[in-house]
Amino acid sequence: MELSCGRPAAALPGMEAESPGEDYESLPTGASLSTHMTAGAVAGILEHTVMYPVDSVKTRMQSLQPDPKAQYKSVYEALKKIIHTEGFWRPLRGINVTMLGAGPAHAMYFACYEKMKRTLSDIIHHGGNSHLANGIAGSMATLLHDAVMNPAEVVKQRMQMYNSPYKTVLECIRTVHRTEGLGAFYRSYTTQLTMNVPFQAIHFITYEFMQEQINPRREYNPRSHILSGAIAGAVAAAATTPLDVCKTLLNTQENMALSSVNVSGHLSGMANAFRTVYQLGGIPGYFRGVQARVIYQMPSTAIAWSVYEFFKYFLTKHKLEKRAPY
């Protein structure tokens, strides 16, 4: 997910920015590619893993025709029931493939975003901040991020499902590849991209609005970043839940649900997924698991924002201190 955008210059607490291009709100121009990648990888891994058990619940609650033993009324009830009947570690199944995907996906996202943002800004606005450049850079970075993350999402969600036939990540990868082909890992790619565009738009608009209200000076303020990130994540998550339900159906290829509407073979395409969800659950079907999705996304985005903002603050402060005369 995108965690950086051009904002007005703001000085570090207790310091004056040396120039508009060296403020805290943008990583230092001298920051290396590895710095962007490290910051992104750490933020991405934490974002996806800290609330992973709730993500497992979300996947199950989005099931259109769940097994009677896997029907839940709340996130707490679901977690309690899963741990009691399937074992303490069951909600964490698939977390390893998520970490393997999130690290490089977010590392490449940040590296691509920062490089393209600067290059396009030089072309469009002669080195100044350009919202158009930010938007194009974010879109291109999302294409790269989702291309890496989508296969991990497919494996993760299949391992999260109730009565999943897969015991290990490798078994899941091999079985899906053998029975459904390589395309199965990208069946929900277009849906994922379609979901991420409005998600990011709502996310950033809400985050920036909250920052204007509670942190107008744009100083490094962990509380404001955490609160703004949590609210932004919640609003964006709730609004894009219908697309997430469709993505889950495409990833899991839920057999009972597809057979009940006479879908033979494998379901593909966002339009077909939307139609199938409506056939099985009507309008409420598009919002299955919305509670779990919001509960998962709030701390996830709060963690991601706070980690990335900390990296920006730390790196900028370190750079300014090195320049300061002794």
The structural domain count of the chain equals: 1
Nearest to 180 by CA among 124, 243, 253, 233: 253
Token couple for 260: 């009940």
**CA gap 164, 87 in Å, rounded:** 14
In a domain, 320, yes or no: no
Classified as helix, coil or strand, 265 is: coil
Residue whose pair of structure tokens reads 């899991």 in the numeric block: 252
Provide the residue range defining the domain that includes 140.
Answer: 33-311
In a domain, 306, yes or no: yes
In a domain, 65, yes or no: yes
pLDDT at 259: 82
pLDDT at 254: 87
In a domain, 239, yes or no: yes
- Name 14's Cβ contacts closer than 8 Å, sequence gap at least 6: none
pLDDT at 14: 40
pLDDT at 19: 37
The full DSSP string for 76-137 is HHHHHHHHHHH-TTGGGTTHHHHHHHHHHHHHHHHHHHHHHHHHHHHHHHTTS--HHHHHHH
Beta strands in the chain (DSSP E): none
In a domain, 143, yes or no: yes
In a domain, 241, yes or no: yes
**Global model pTM greater than 0.75:** yes
Residue whose pair of structure tokens reads 């710095």 in the numeric block: 35
First-to-last alpha carbon distance for the chain, in angstroms, is 40
Residue whose pair of structure tokens reads 């009830």 in the numeric block: 77
pLDDT at 325: 62
pLDDT in tens, the chain (326 residues): 444 434 433 333 443 333 333 444 445 555 677 777 888 888 889 888 989 999 999 999 999 888 899 999 999 999 999 999 999 999 999 999 999 999 999 888 878 877 887 888 788 877 665 667 767 877 788 888 899 999 999 999 999 999 999 999 999 999 999 999 999 999 999 999 988 878 877 887 888 789 889 988 878 889 999 999 999 999 999 999 999 999 999 999 888 788 888 777 788 888 999 999 999 999 999 999 999 999 999 998 898 888 877 877 787 776 666 666 65
Residue whose pair of structure tokens reads 């299949």 in the numeric block: 158
pLDDT at 129: 59
The answer to whether the CB of 18 falls within 8 A of the CB of 320 is yes
* Torsion angles phi and psi, residue 74, rounded to 5: -150, 165
Nearest to 160 by CA among 242, 93, 209: 93
The answer to whether the CB of 287 falls within 8 A of the CB of 243 is no
CA distance to 39, 123, 281, 318, per residue, from 27 (Å): 11, 20, 46, 11
Nearest to 255 by CA among 243, 246, 244, 263: 263
Classified as helix, coil or strand, 162 is: coil
Token couple for 29: 């121009």
Question: Looking at residue 298, which CATH number applies to its domain?
Answer: 1.50.40.10
pLDDT at 13: 41
In a domain, 287, yes or no: yes
**CA gap 139, 204 in Å, rounded:** 13
- Name 165's Cβ contacts closer than 8 Å, sequence gap at least 6: 175
In a domain, 103, yes or no: yes
